[in-house]
Amino acid sequence: MSETPRFGPAGLSDSYPAKAFDPEGIAAYTAGFGLTAFEYQCGRGVRLAHDKAAALGKACAARGIALSVHAPYYISMSSMEEEKRLHSIDYILQSCALVKALGGRRVIFHSGSCGKQSREQALEKALDTMRRTVEACDAAGYGDCILCPETMGKVNQLGTLDEVLALCGVDGRITPCIDFGHLYARSQGTEYAGESAAADYAALLDRLQVLGAERASHFHAHFSRIAYTKGGEKCHLTLADTQYGPPHLPLLALLKERGLAPTIICESAGTQAEDAQALSRAYAAL
């Protein structure tokens, strides 16, 4: 297993020449930026045919690019409606089937919002759904998939660091997706910013140790600058938009200093491959 981070984009940048689905083209484009990860986006539904997924997986594998899948945005493991929670398990199973077709293992998902219930009640429902999801994945033959609940950017969403770590406690295979921009935005810029950024990043990395050395080192991550309002996340920006954070250099320095090797997916708005390359180069230059 690689002991340096993997960097890659969430989907294709605006600079990608828009054409029909082209596995070789996508793999060559991603590799052209020197990237070693790619997150296939299924936010609006799992729709890629498995034969096409296998072709993309083969093209990426030949270039050393690891694939992950972002599951549909409408997953809600904390919904007050049991039917929605059960549908959410199905959407994760669909995402697992796709990531296996791609030759990858990691499925990233949002766990839902609190709605009209307390955070404690929402988390209790999400934990129950998480347990049932693990059982369903094992029963369907997806036990080798790595489920990655994501830290979220809006204040009313389930997805604080504590809540994600609680979900990871359901099973030893569940690995956090730490979205640093989301954590910055939900704190309204009071954390992971300015002179305290390095200390905040260090404290977060320390907290991950509760998961054990393997998951603490090889966690999944999203990174982008994010604008916020009093409700948290407003929109994703690019690394060039320096009015908002979080800053990347203090994080990259800590990853190198500690020998950690997460997969870092850049979610910049339209420049995700270019900015993932910038992150990769900044890390290499340290």
Q: What is the token pair recorded at 108?
A: 């990233």
Whole-number Cα distances in Å, 143 to 93, 124, 125, 138, 248: 11, 23, 22, 4, 34
Q: State residue 162's pLDDT score.
A: 98
Burial of 145 (0-12, 13-18, 19+ CB in 10 A): buried
- In the chain, which ranges are E strands? 6-9, 37-41, 66-70, 106-109, 146-149, 177-179, 220-223, 226-229, 232-236, 263-266
Structure confidence at residue 103 (pLDDT): 98
Cβ atoms of residues 184 and 191 within 8 Å: yes
Q: What is the pLDDT of residue 279?
A: 98
| Residue 10: strand pairing partners | 39
User: For residue 60, which amino acid is it?
Assistant: C
272, 201 in Cβ contact below 8 A? no
Is 193 within 8 Å of 247 (Cβ atoms)? yes
Pick the CATH number of 6-285 from 1.10.10.10, 3.40.50.2300, 3.20.20.150, 3.40.309.10: 3.20.20.150
The DSSP secondary-structure symbol of 23 reads H
Gap between the Cα atoms of 29 and 2, Å rounded? 22
Domain ranges of the chain: 6-285
Encoded amino acid at 121, one letter: Q
CB 252 within 8 A of CB 283: yes
Between the alpha carbon of residue 250 and those of residues 40, 83, 175, 238, the distances in Å are 27, 43, 23, 17
Per-residue pLDDT for the chain (286 aa), expressed as one digit of tens each? 448 999 999 999 999 998 889 999 999 999 999 999 999 999 999 999 999 999 999 999 999 999 999 999 999 999 999 999 999 999 999 999 999 999 999 999 999 999 999 999 999 999 999 999 999 999 999 999 999 999 999 999 999 999 999 999 999 999 999 999 999 999 999 999 999 999 999 999 999 999 999 999 999 999 999 999 999 999 999 999 999 999 999 999 999 999 999 999 999 999 999 999 999 999 999 9
- What pLDDT is stored for residue 208 in this prediction? 98
Q: What SS3 state is found at 219?
A: coil
- How far is it, in rounded angstroms, from Cα 219 to Cα 143? 18
The reported pLDDT for the residue numbered 20 is: 85
Tell me if 142 sits within 8 A of 108, measured CB to CB: no
